[in-house]
Amino acid sequence: MNTTIMLFLLQDGITNGAIYALLGLALVLVFAVTRVILIPQGEFVTYGALTYASLASGQMPGTAKLALAMGVTACAFDLFVARKALHGRLILRSVVANVVLPAIVLALTIYFAAQKPSVAVCIALSLVIVAMIGLYLYRIAFQPLAHTSVLVLLIASVGTHLALQGLGLLFFGAEGQRGPAVLSGAFTAGSLRFTGQSLTVYGITIAFIVGLWLFFGLTLYGKALRATAVNRLGARLAGIRTTLSGQIAFLLASVIGALSGIMIVPITTLYYDSGFLIGLKGFVAAIIGGLVSYPLTAAAALFVGIVEAFSSFYASNYKEVIVFMLLIPVLLLRSLAAPAVEEEKD
Amino acid sequence: MQSRLPILVFALVMAAIPFIPGMPPFWIVLLDNIGLSALVAMGLVLLTGVGGLTSFGQAAFVGFGAYTTALLTTAYGLSPWLTLPLSLLISGLLAVLLGLVTVRLSGHYLPLGTLAWGLGLFYLFSKLEFLGRNDGISAIPPLSIGSFKMLSPGSIYFAIWVAVTLSALLTMNLLDSRTGRAIRALRRGHVAAEAFGVHTPRAKLLVFIHAAVLAGLSGWLYAHLQRAVNPTPFGAQAGIEYLFIAVVGGAGYVWGGVLGAAIVVILKEVLQSYLPLIVPGSGQVETIVFGIMLVALLQLAPGGVWPWLMSFLPERSGGRKPDTSLKLEQRPRASGQSSILLQVEKARKQFGGVVAVNNVSFDVQAREIVALIGPNGAGKSTTFNLITGVLSATSGSISVLGRKVDRAPPQEIVKLGISRTFQHVKLVPDMTVLENVAIGAHLRGHSGPLSSMLRLDRADEAKLLAEAARQIERVGLAEQMHQLAGSLSLGQQRIVEIARALCVDPMLLLLDEPAAGLRHMEKQQLAKLLRDLRDGGMSVLLVEHDMGFVMNLADRIVVLDFGTKIAEGTPATIKTNPEVIKAYLGVAA
């Protein structure tokens, strides 16, 4: 192997790894706050990517309608739960957040889709649409289950993954799509060529990692989220609205997912079901990071990306096998390091 | 679980179904599929619902069962009946390999780990040349008995449902045994089970293998039903679906697995055949509806359908009282060089910078009640954990009858005849008092999982239950013997823990705040019981906050404060010790 190939593979691996890092971070975030292992994270990726690609090619993405439908359902859930104590402000707030907002976004989407919008508009619309889907998803599927076990939440997570993936096929068809580059242009350094797209990927990943770190370390909301993660009941007693924490977590996760999707779709063709596998690789990273540590997850994600790049070069048939089997030695190490006294609760 | 009648009825009904005139053949195909899923789900019930280990990877074991027989019957011409044990063996061996890695993980690592290797193995199936890559293996011979070939779904139906019924029977037998109790205790954490000699990693591995073998059996049947295998049905989606089946049916119940399989298979079929009529158009509408129904079902009935159905049946009156005339052999007494039962010498435990136990020394002689007292945070429970091997001391030594046991795990300590109760009650709430107490006698039984499944353990089992019943009567809870432990008051649960500890046949009993939550009369009964035990030759070391209780009961008292021993002596001297008064009441007292 010569150094050029090696550097090239390394670069490829780091680009992919950066995406996995973002997804891994989102998974860690959601798990820590809500105890949900977010399998539909992959759908946020594909929804973001394909909404962006559809808009850019002047098509109307079905996700905007889905956001409205989910918003209406979420509003119905809100009103049903509060049926004994309905008052004007509550109704107004729920209707504005869950119905009026997605309706406006839908109108904007219809307006812009007809006239091949600019890249910036496509990104903004895709992010808003997927963010709303994430938010309403928490309200509909997970908030009513917030008190149950990790297992029940996991199964619910699988259910939402199946439904969203099916809807993805309905909206975007079985054909793959590619989107326009977020940042075009490229420069070369030595034998390596850096595209604007890959630099965007690095930049956004670093920005998110620093941003999350600051958010959790310095802001009150970040601390509230951490408190919820440690002890739900205690957080509630301290006046933290745990549903709000869950909403923030899902909102962040869906934005991160959509953003990752938008960044990948100019590089590789994405299909309605591609997200699952991409999300799972984020998982692998998150597990290596122990589902708690952000820096470790990011490092692990880079490692996963690099392993994937090298194994696709040397043993492309066994690429997925190698990536997923990577977990076994990691689990083994974690097993050996696991504390002897550990009590599970359910 | 005692009655075998429901199983017999079930078997007869299932046997009769194909003979119903006008039975559509398609329904038989559905029933075949239900049976195949039920086998896997049954394993998951044991693994996830009972043992608390969530696995997304069961589909991979189905795949191993199916591919083993497919390869051996097509490439090497072996008879399917020969490949059956091989299929089960391969699934089981793989479970040992993967299990050794994964079962020690707790909580969320385990499901994610299983998901990952489930996926990895799926890709392996689809890439390996000798397994036919994505095309798989076809032209697998059918099962046959003599010249009778099970070619149709109607003929293999019997093989499938015999397998389901037998597996259910064996699984239920296993749960209702010495090993079963150890498995059922797993979900509540390790510490309690290990304190009574259960080797928890081994118990976890056992359920893991059991579930994998059932999955392998399902795969073997699948291969001979379809007579072709390809990787698709063994992927992550299938693994997820099996878990879903178990949760829908009721993850804690063997029959919940069968019911869940019926619900899910029929539901999918109905969705697939009728949805296109309602919602015309492309694609995966049934997947969407399926996913939404899954979430809705969890929101409405998180416990599953089986327990919900069972709640309509009249409540069964409690089980039979075990025949207490059966004697369980006494545990062989450990003999040692020293007459001092327990000697703690300069034991020290540091958690990072915190010194929880600071060079504490004391001993317990034979036939003696020693109390360990001190303000909250004095290190009393940590001392208990050091003695029983839950924690290992940073320095210092602990000897039993003169033999050092510093690094011994809890399972070894209990073998020396030291048993304990816990400050925070650690019973299995959904097991009866009798079953909980019988865990205490775990080391005094000998039956393994295989003999339990085949019911060869009954003589052993009867003795264990008899011993448990005797100890329950001794502590005065005979009335509550068949109630669920979780339904008792906290004070009673503490007494149940004492009965469980007594089942060990201990020479030293460690009680962590046994009188907390008891009423005055109950405390007096407890004190009497402990005195009787001492007079019978047992020693007791107890942590207690109720001073009246301690002062009247203990022969000797050791006082700890901030991890350090500040006094030791008879109750009379402790009461007047200025150091002790200072620790409890402050300086100026």
pLDDT per residue as tens digits for the range B105-134: 666 667 777 877 788 888 888 888 788 787
- Comparing alpha-carbon positions, the chain A residue that sits nearest to B200 is A340
Measure B228 CA to nearest chain A CA, in Å: 23
Q: What token pair was written down for B226?
A: 């379809």
Fold topology of B338-417+508-516+537-589: Rossmann fold (3.40.50)
Question: Quick one: DSSP state of residue B391?
Answer: S
Query: Is B288 close to A163, i.e. CB distance below 8 A?
Result: yes
* pLDDT at res. A338: 56
Distance CA B190, CA B410 (A): 10
Question: Quick one: DSSP state of residue A83?
Answer: G
* pLDDT at res. B280: 63
Distance CA A48, CA B551 (A): 71
Measure A143 CA to nearest chain B CA, in Å: 10
Least confident range from A28-42, A223-237, B320-334, B382-396: namely B320-334
B106 in contact with A, Cβ within 8 Å: yes
- Comparing alpha-carbon positions, the chain A residue that sits nearest to B120 is A321
pLDDT band for B588, please (50, 70, 90 cuts).
Answer: low
Q: Chain A interface, mutation test: which of B53, B58, B123, most A Cβ atoms within 10 Å?
A: B123
Phi and psi angles of residue B158, each rounded to the nearest 5 degrees, phi first = -65, -40
The domain locations on chain A are 3-333
CB neighbour class for B21 (10 Å; exposed up to 12, middle 13-18, buried from 19) = exposed
- Is A66 within 8 Å of A133 (Cβ atoms)? yes
* pLDDT at res. B589: 45
Distance CA A144, CA A140 (A): 7
B543-548 own/partner pairs: CB under 8 Å, 24+ apart: B543/B371, B543/B372, B543/B373, B543/B380, B543/B381, B543/B384, B543/B423, B543/B511, B543/B512, B543/B513, B544/B371, B544/B373, B544/B511, B544/B513, B544/B514, B544/B515, B544/B516, B545/B373, B545/B513, B545/B516, B546/B515, B546/B516, B547/B373
- Is B42 within 8 Å of B210 (Cβ atoms)? no
Measure A263 CA to nearest chain B CA, in Å: 25
CA A236 from chain center: how many Å?
A: 26
Phi and psi angles of residue B509, each rounded to the nearest 5 degrees, phi first = -110, 125
- Is B298 within 8 Å of A156 (Cβ atoms)? yes
Measure B107 CA to nearest chain A CA, in Å: 7
pLDDT band for B502, please (50, 70, 90 cuts).
Answer: very high
For residue B244, give the nearest of B256, B232, B233 by alpha carbon.
B256
Query: Is A150 close to B107, i.e. CB distance below 8 A?
Result: yes
To the nearest whole number, what is the mean pLDDT of chain B? 86
- Is B64 within 8 Å of B130 (Cβ atoms)? no
SS3 B559: strand
Q: What is the mean pLDDT of residues B153-159?
A: 86
B391 in contact with A, Cβ within 8 Å: yes
For residue B238, give the nearest of B32, B37, B53 by alpha carbon.
B37
Counted across chains A and B, CB pairs separated by less than 8 A come out at 161
Nearest to A341 among B52, B287, B390 (CB): B390
Distance CA A235, CA A35 (A): 15
Q: Chain B interface, mutation test: which of A77, A154, A291, most B Cβ atoms within 10 Å?
A: A154
Query: Is B124 close to A321, i.e. CB distance below 8 A?
Result: yes
Query: Is B247 close to A291, i.e. CB distance below 8 A?
Result: no
Measure A320 CA to nearest chain B CA, in Å: 7
Distance CA B460, CA B512 (A): 31
For residue A134, pLDDT beyond 90: yes
Least confident range from B75-84, B272-281, B398-407, B424-433: namely B272-281
Q: Matching CATH topology for B338-417+508-516+537-589 and B418-505?
A: yes
- Comparing alpha-carbon positions, the chain B residue that sits nearest to A280 is B116
Question: In the Cβ-directed half-sphere of B416, how many Cα atoms lie within 13 Å?
Answer: 23
The residue with greater pLDDT, B276 or B500, is B500
- First and final CA of chain A: distance in angstroms? 51
- First and final CA of chain B: distance in angstroms? 61
- Is A289 within 8 Å of A333 (Cβ atoms)? no
* pLDDT at res. B498: 93
* pLDDT at res. B334: 63
The domain locations on chain B are 32-270, 338-417+508-516+537-589, 418-505
For residue A138, pLDDT beyond 90: yes
Query: Is B113 close to A151, i.e. CB distance below 8 A?
Result: no
Q: Chain B interface, mutation test: which of A331, A334, A346, most B Cβ atoms within 10 Å?
A: A331
Amino acid at B557: I
Query: Is B123 close to A145, i.e. CB distance below 8 A?
Result: no
Query: Is B302 close to A31, i.e. CB distance below 8 A?
Result: no
B351 in contact with A, Cβ within 8 Å: no
Residues of A in contact with B289 (CB under 8 A): 163
Calculated CA dihedral for residues A91, A96, A98, A101, nearest 10 degrees: 170
pLDDT per residue as tens digits for the range B16-56: 888 888 888 888 899 999 999 999 999 999 998 888 888 88
Q: Candidates 3.40.50.300, 3.40.50.720, 3.40.640.10, 3.40.50.1370; correct CATH number of B418-505?
A: 3.40.50.300
